[in-house]
Amino acid sequence: MVNITINGRQYTADEGKTILDACRAHGIRIPTLCYLEGVSEEAACSLCVVEVTGARTLVRSCVTKVTEGMDIKTATERVRQARTVVLELILANHPKDCLACYRNQNCELQSLAQELGIDSIRYPKIRKQDYDLDTSSPSIIRDANKCILCGRCIATCSKIQTVDAIQFSGRGLQSKVSTFMDAGLGKVACINCGQCVLICPTGALIERSAIKAVWKDIADPKKFVVVQTAPAIRAAIGEEFGLPEGVAVTGKMAAALRKLGFDKVFDTQFTADLTIIEEGSEFIDRVKNGGVLPMITSCSPGWIKFSEIFFPEILAHLSTCKSPQQMFGAVAKTYYAQKMGIDPRDMVVVSIMPCTAKKFEAGRPEMDSAFAYWREKMHLRGEESFPDVDYVLTTRETGRMITEAGIDFAALESEGYDDPLGKSTGAATLFGATGGVMEAALRSAYFYLTGQELPSLEFSPIRGLAGIKEATVNVAGMDVKVAVASGLGNARKLMEDVRDKKSPYHFIEIMACPGGCIGGGGQPIPTDTRLRTKRMEALYAEDQHLPQRRSHENSDVKALYDDFLKTPNGHLSHDLLHTQYRQRVY
């Protein structure tokens, strides 16, 4: 520990910590813009400057370490003027469309201008060039005009996800964040995870919105519009309306969606249970019949695209199961449409997901298995294919729609999901957190292999936010070694061993986003470690309180097999619920 003085008061701080860390530890706020703890610490913006006695110039607190006897002043006239000048220079080049900006009232730049008392900008615009919107990606829109060159997106893409889809280009006034050869996000090795959107302080990176298209179909009397909600949504969407963090608002969410005008409100957790049965059966088949191991989960579309680009050698290890989102679309437009007498061409499936990569996944050309199912039955030869999932809305987009409709979310009474695609178990709820798919799979795999239920359903070694977790579970006399990774930098470490045939595991779960879907690129902003933890706890709590906690106990999924699919991993299941992946070259 070292002794320091901050604004005339004595404190102690850990040796080796920065001034910024020391001040935050003692509840003293220093404004930052480019700084992102553990990720982006480049001292690019200079907003965090402080005065240190004996130093000739102001110092940047995010990179300056505390020393014994250091005397720090965080809000002198000199410091406040310097911060004001920095922020005014940034604002001089920034578009003045705040009222129409997607990030209005949730913009760090806007908040800092208010905090620092900026009521006018004394400097002219010095950047002469205006940039076109990058709309090449199915998931993310990039507006370089709103970029303040903080570098947080670059650091996240490089250090956390190890994708390196974006980088600085140009010099001086020509500097900008760009892709290789300025091709656009949709034409480079971007995996659509949206982690860059979560940490962008302005509206330079936003999701590609499907709100207008969804409103249009809801208003069309010829369309039968159904909606599915991912597990992670219930633990986060309340934040959009100022409700307490870490509380699942499942019933309020279902009520709000019904008020928006959806014809049926279903739950992606139904097909999460279905995924466990298909994936568990696939894993058992591989174990018993010498299939490719380790088997790796395939629920996260960002992870799937990452593997197709960076690790094509391991594609045989991926489970052939589609994600719960895509399974739902296929089941809704076949089994449910047939059951209700609805023409599948008139059915619109809307997904509410915590993930921007789900927008990309829904548009993959192979995700039209319902069309393939009906092609012969309805003589659809020559007709244009229809997708299994028509639109994907993020948590944020859904919050905007509820607000647009004038719905008082906090005041809503809880409502349930519609049958038969709305019933789920606690195991399905866990899909929203890293380790949850593995935990759900083990609960059912144990039953299928032993005929008995697990004595304890909680797998604490694979819970929590650690980037890589592992466990060994004895199942029917066999030690099954499992691993869980979230964040693609962590996935890369495991995949290098799989590629080099050094992996000791039988089963691996990968989620593209840190913390899993609770930290997805479509979740409320901000999303940080504290919020990920609270959202995860909300999902664990809901699992604890549901009457059924194992996927194979879902009676409506059993009915789906009895009435339609017949058997897990059977012929029809493979046609509708499974797929293959391919190498991608950019």
Domain with residue 14: its CATH number is 3.10.20.740
Structure tokens belonging to residue 440: 């759900």
pLDDT in tens, 270-288: 999 999 999 999 999 999 9
- The two beta strands, 224-229 and 264-267, are parallel
pLDDT in tens, 142-187: 999 999 999 999 999 999 999 999 999 998 888 999 999 999 999 9
Residue whose entry in the numeric block shows the structure tokens 């449910």 = 336
In the sheet with 347-353, reading across from the earlier edge strand, the strands are 264-267, 224-229, 347-353, 391-394
Whether 366 is a known active-site residue: answer yes
pLDDT in tens, 30-42: 999 999 988 888 8
Enclosing domain of residue 185: 127-207
**Catalytic residue of the set 147, 150, 299, 513:** 299
Whether 369 is a known active-site residue: answer no
Same domain, 135 and 149: yes
Read off the pLDDT of each residue in 46-71 and give the average, rounded to a whole number.
96
Whether 358 is a known active-site residue: answer yes
- The two beta strands, 347-353 and 391-394, are parallel
Same domain, 59 and 184: no
List the CATH number of the domain containing 154: 3.30.70.20
Among residues 207, 230, 255, which one ends one of the domains? Answer: 207
Read off the pLDDT of each residue in 459-463 and give the average, rounded to a whole number.
91
Among residues 187, 207, 227, which one ends one of the domains? Answer: 207
Same domain, 12 and 47: yes
338, part of any domain: yes
Q: How far is CA 517 from CA 135, 230, 322, 391, 487, in A?
A: 24, 9, 16, 18, 11
- The two beta strands, 176-178 and 2-6, are unpaired
List the CATH number of the domain containing 547: 3.40.50.1780
Angle at 422 (CA atoms; ends 416, 426), nearest 5 degrees: 90
The per-residue pLDDT for 453 is 82
How many domains does the chain contain in total? 3
pLDDT in tens, 123-142: 998 877 889 999 999 999 99
140, part of any domain: yes
Same domain, 197 and 346: no
Distance between CA 291 and CA 294 in Å, rounded? 9
Query: Per DSSP, which regions of 134-287 are E strands?
Result: 140-142, 167-169, 176-178, 205-207, 224-229, 264-267
Q: Which amino acid is at 436?
A: G
Of 193-202, 211-220, 373-382, 511-520, which gets the smallest average pLDDT? 373-382
**Catalytic residue of the set 41, 51, 108, 282:** 282
Among residues 74, 92, 110, which one ends one of the domains? Answer: 92
Whether 299 is a known active-site residue: answer yes
141, part of any domain: yes
Share of the chain above pLDDT 90, in %: 91
Same domain, 226 and 328: yes
Same domain, 219 and 152: no
pLDDT in tens, 479-521: 999 999 999 999 999 999 999 999 999 999 999 999 999 999 9
Same domain, 183 and 252: no
504, part of any domain: no
Same domain, 171 and 224: no
**Catalytic residue of the set 108, 207, 279, 542:** 279
287, part of any domain: yes
Q: What is the dihedral of CA 103, 190, 148, 28, to 10 degrees?
A: 70
The per-residue pLDDT for 477 is 83
Same domain, 218 and 233: yes
Whether 413 is a known active-site residue: answer no
Q: How confident is the model at residue 361 (pLDDT cuts 50, 70, 90)?
A: very high
Q: At what angle do helices 301-310 and 488-499 cross, to 10 degrees?
A: 50
**Catalytic residue of the set 358, 359, 423, 469:** 358
Q: Who has greater pLDDT, 104 or 450?
A: 104
Q: How confident is the model at residue 382 (pLDDT cuts 50, 70, 90)?
A: confident
279, part of any domain: yes
For residue 349, the cross-strand partners are 226
Q: How confident is the model at residue 400 (pLDDT cuts 50, 70, 90)?
A: very high
Per-residue pLDDT for 205 more than 80?
Answer: yes
Structure tokens belonging to residue 490: 């962590």
Whether 193 is a known active-site residue: answer no
Distance between CA 378 and CA 380 in Å, rounded? 5
Q: What is the dihedral of CA 182, 184, 188, 191, to 10 degrees?
A: 140
